[in-house]
Amino acid sequence: MKLLRLLERLLPHLLLILSLMLLTFFFIDLVNESMAFLNNRITKILCAVHALLSAVFCVLAVVKDKK
């Protein structure tokens, strides 16, 4: 139960940080395409981590609603 509470408190912060990073990369890439922020391996990994954390957060929200 302590792990579940820790995840409930930590996940929103992690998702916010990752979302802001990805939005920053998106806007920088619009201005300067030669930097290729959206076409590199690190950004793809960040997108995958963001998707995974979002899925975990959604599952935790559903479980919390069921209680």
CA–CA separation, 56 and 19 (whole Å): 15
* 32, two tokens: 């300067």
Q: What is the mean pLDDT of residues 30-42?
A: 84
pLDDT interval class at 66 (50, 70, 90): confident
pLDDT interval class at 49 (50, 70, 90): very high
For residue 41, give the DSSP letter.
H
Q: Terminal CA-to-CA distance of the chain, rounded, Å? A: 13
